[in-house]
Structure 1
């Protein structure tokens, strides 16, 4: 497909340098130790599905053979799922609570899209409140529930939880993590604990204001009122964490457990909280690092490297689509998928890739390879995609968030692939499979991020949610763009790495975006 592909020769065998052997050994140890620690957090906790919730997937976490206990409903934030809240679910289950975590409509493995007006307090929010109420009803009907209940929620979930708690007398306490809500009053909801990350900017001020509604002199760490009679108020900052890190922060987990113990008049729990954030980071880092020695799995490729694109031509290929694509797409209605802004993103990826590949073809950088070479490229693409989806994805799905979708998301993944494959193919060719100077990689990928920002600025109301996905794309470039470079340099087949990463990116985006049906 490229001049590199045509001029390659293959030396069979997998020969690793001592450095690659060392990285492989360390990476495998990191993965093994992380999995051991993460599985240890689940040991002794019965984890099973909760039925009776309609189409809403829900999971129960509780101690085996424990007497009936208060139920704690755990709800995730926007673009999250039950798995993201496991640290809270496991910590509270080990403290003796019956914990029920669920996937909101449009999220995780919930097959029903969100609907209504996301911009209206009386739109989508009311539908998600109805769903929360169904989960509470199903949980309290079980023999392991003692009739009392509370709710712990993150970000968007806290907005729904606070509104629900104000209307549902069964909820004796609300733990709002990374709280985003304007429905708090001096006395409602009952027994409100707010835990925000120290690095959450505006939300820090919102938490302080909510606490001071009950007592203007109160500061972070002060308890206002009495949780035993339902008048408790407290706000705490978890140190050195942001909007996602606060989910795993030991401060948050201890505060939530202590607050619920006080609410239900239970002895203060003294056991350890679930330590998952660091082990998850180590696990995913180990899997990515293992890609460096594994890149040699199909043997070392040697080629007579042709002249790379001139500086001028490279800048044209890298920068022209960044300006042209958002301007050309701005007048068109690209809404054809039941997913917020994913349809536009798929079209943006596709147009960007087509323009860049067209320029590369015009200058003779792209040629269709022979049948045997096509087969090798596709095999390599399949291996790269399998490693991302089947290995990295397996760890993500068990410990981080839903990564293996319900069937309805297959259409979304396929539509995303129509865009991400040509884009990642053009990206791999531009950076010469990772052999181009670093400034070229930074320029090419930075230009794409800028183009998404320009598209958002041109239609902010419709494409606002693109801003949420920008960090995901950036992390993808940093981690898997680097892995693609390892594969490209080891095999001299940038096309295979690009196509494989395009398939993986389509899958990751297709399972991440919340489904929404207007």
Structure 2
């Protein structure tokens, strides 16, 4: 059975990777730099000059995240240019300023977009016409750029928030919001279109006129949230149609469909971990863990969830050169410490029982093997097709620092949810409580931590995927430590390479 499952999972991974590679096979993709900003240019095989669309990612994103738009536009005859903003992805230059004040950072990002767009206009394959597209944080940046450059033919603002939009500026504005995104983003999209529609805007309807630059439209992409909107078929189709209407000379629509293939690849990688886990060494003669009953487990799960955000509410948490990563590190660390303290209390002051015959060398081998699988098997396709995952040198110390918080949390959590008499559903309960704890933290400090709400679906996916792998690791090794160390490592890595670097 393990061999059969492993074979099917491997085939699924190979099919998904093949289809993802085929998506750009007929395109010319080149990588370059504008100053120190990493830039990627997607263009059709045709050498004829064509309009250029500069595509900008959002907060904690990178240019890989915008590939679906870039490849869709290139397949439809446009040149698409993506790049990594200051402090994001592989851009080595950090942002400078106070994120809550925003003006200095906004101006710096706007200058960077201006430089990239100026370079894009000079491409030999450009016919001189330009459009811009931005997601989330970048939606406001591209709007401001288009307002400062009235010759920009069209602007697409995805998951938009921009207080500077007027009834006729920027020219020809398409607003795309995921139907499952927070209500405030949908309301912002309606507000913007209502500036032209006179207060009676209906999603899906076009208002104004392309010839005069006043065209406006709100699209609610079906069934997707803040990240899913970047892979939505609705988002791709509406963007191509908007560009075709603005430029008037691109009759066909060919849309990127990588979402299904990414899902196939990552599902295959998760499933493949099950047969591979049989290769891990057994490190304990009996299943190790707390084996808590439901009453004790509920106490150990809910108490840290409530206390952690309250203790961190007024504490200074800006000590790392990475936005929100420092807060998450402290949240993990304090949560793990409280979970450990509760466990000690429930055990009447005695540390959890650990088998005296644990083979610690085997623990290290198993933890290294699971960590390597998590980082490499997931990390390589993520870096190629989702977001920047391979760290630049400046981010390596951040991984080690954030691991000081994630490792204690996962060590405590894996022990709480493991053992010979562990309760079914214990892992799901503790992860629900952790997400609840982040929700309380956001409610206490929404101005600083609101972005955590938007990335909850991503955290949930990580909990599910790596939770399964750690469970299979536990079944093979009979000890929670290898899975805990691997989870702590991958979460620290993901946080350190994702959130933007900043100098305050």
TM-score by length of 2: 0.91
Match of 1:491 in 2: 477
How far residue 198 of structure 1 moved from its aligned partner, in angstroms, is 2.8
**Does the 8 Å CA contact 2:54/2:80 hold for their aligned counterparts?**
yes
> In terms of mean alpha carbon deviation, does 195-204 or 458-467 score higher?
458-467
Match of 1:181 among 137, 145, 162: 162
> In terms of mean alpha carbon deviation, does 320-329 or 486-495 score higher?
320-329
Q: 1:405/1:71 Cα in 2 relative to 1: closer, same or farther (>3 Å)? A: same
Match of 2:350 in 1: 363
| Residue 280 of structure 1 pairs with residue 267 of structure 2 | no
How far residue 469 of structure 1 moved from its aligned partner, in angstroms, is 4.5
| Residue 36 of structure 1 pairs with residue 46 of structure 2 | no
SS of the equivalent of 1:109 reads coil
Q: 1:174/1:469 Cα in 2 relative to 1: closer, same or farther (>3 Å)? A: closer
SS of the equivalent of 2:188 reads helix
Q: 1:233/1:329 Cα in 2 relative to 1: closer, same or farther (>3 Å)? A: closer
Task: Give the 5 Å matches for 1:350-429.
Answer: 350-358=333-341, 360=343, 362-367=349-354, 373-429=359-415
| Residue 260 of structure 1 pairs with residue 243 of structure 2 | yes
Q: 1:320/1:366 Cα in 2 relative to 1: closer, same or farther (>3 Å)? A: farther
How far residue 207 of structure 1 moved from its aligned partner, in angstroms, is 2.5
Match of 2:73 in 1: 92
Match of 1:321 in 2: 304
**Does the 8 Å CA contact 2:233/2:257 hold for their aligned counterparts?**
yes
Q: 1:360/1:150 Cα in 2 relative to 1: closer, same or farther (>3 Å)? A: same
How far residue 301 of structure 1 moved from its aligned partner, in angstroms, is 6.9
Match of 1:6 in 2: none
**Does the 8 Å CA contact 1:163/1:183 hold for their aligned counterparts?**
yes
Match of 1:57 in 2: 38
Match of 1:168 among 144, 149, 153: 149
Once the two structures are superposed, what CA deviation does each residue of 1:146-191 show, in whole Å capped at 9, x if it has no partner? 2111101112211111111111134211012222222222111011
What is the root-mean-square deviation of aligned Cα atoms in Å?
2.5
Match of 1:138 among 111, 116, 119: 119
How far residue 507 of structure 1 moved from its aligned partner, in angstroms, is 0.3
Once the two structures are superposed, what CA deviation does each residue of 1:23-52 show, in whole Å capped at 9, x if it has no partner? 22221121111111111111011111133x
> In terms of mean alpha carbon deviation, does 434-443 or 338-347 score higher?
434-443
**Does the 8 Å CA contact 1:76/1:157 hold for their aligned counterparts?**
yes
Q: 1:331/1:36 Cα in 2 relative to 1: closer, same or farther (>3 Å)? A: same
SS of the equivalent of 1:57 reads strand
SS of the equivalent of 1:42 reads coil
How far residue 358 of structure 1 moved from its aligned partner, in angstroms, is 4.9
**Does the 8 Å CA contact 1:435/1:489 hold for their aligned counterparts?**
no
- Give me the whole-angstrom Cα distance separating, in 1, the residues matched to 2:496 and 2:109: 22
| Residue 250 of structure 1 pairs with residue 220 of structure 2 | no
SS of the equivalent of 1:432 reads coil
Once the two structures are superposed, what CA deviation does each residue of 1:350-378 show, in whole Å capped at 9, x if it has no partner? 233234335556433154967x8222111
Match of 2:330 among 323, 326, 347: 347
| Residue 290 of structure 1 pairs with residue 276 of structure 2 | no
- Give me the whole-angstrom Cα distance separating, in 1, the residues matched to 2:360 and 2:26: 51
- Give me the whole-angstrom Cα distance separating, in 1, the residues matched to 2:481 and 2:280: 15
- Give me the whole-angstrom Cα distance separating, in 1, the residues matched to 2:106 and 2:450: 18
How far residue 311 of structure 1 moved from its aligned partner, in angstroms, is 4.8
Q: 1:91/1:435 Cα in 2 relative to 1: closer, same or farther (>3 Å)? A: farther
Once the two structures are superposed, what CA deviation does each residue of 1:323-343 show, in whole Å capped at 9, x if it has no partner? 444444444323210112221
TM-score by length of 1: 0.89
- Give me the whole-angstrom Cα distance separating, in 2, the residues matched to 1:144 and 1:325: 55
**Does the 8 Å CA contact 2:282/2:362 hold for their aligned counterparts?**
no
- Give me the whole-angstrom Cα distance separating, in 2, the residues matched to 1:453 and 1:222: 35
How far residue 348 of structure 1 moved from its aligned partner, in angstroms, is 2.5
Task: Give the 5 Å matches for 1:458-497.
Answer: 458-497=444-483
Once the two structures are superposed, what CA deviation does each residue of 1:385-419 show, in whole Å capped at 9, x if it has no partner? 11111111111111111111211111211111011
Match of 1:225 in 2: 208
| Residue 451 of structure 1 pairs with residue 432 of structure 2 | no
How far residue 462 of structure 1 moved from its aligned partner, in angstroms, is 4.1
Count of matched residue positions in the alignment of Structure 1 and Structure 2: 497
Once the two structures are superposed, what CA deviation does each residue of 1:52-103 show, in whole Å capped at 9, x if it has no partner? x212111101123522221110011121111111111011112221110011
**Does the 8 Å CA contact 2:284/2:359 hold for their aligned counterparts?**
no
Match of 2:496 in 1: 510
Once the two structures are superposed, what CA deviation does each residue of 1:113-139 show, in whole Å capped at 9, x if it has no partner? 222343446332111111100101111
- Give me the whole-angstrom Cα distance separating, in 2, the residues matched to 1:54 and 1:470: 34
Name stretches of at least 5 consecutive residues in structure 2 with no aligned partner: none
How far residue 258 of structure 1 moved from its aligned partner, in angstroms, is 2.1
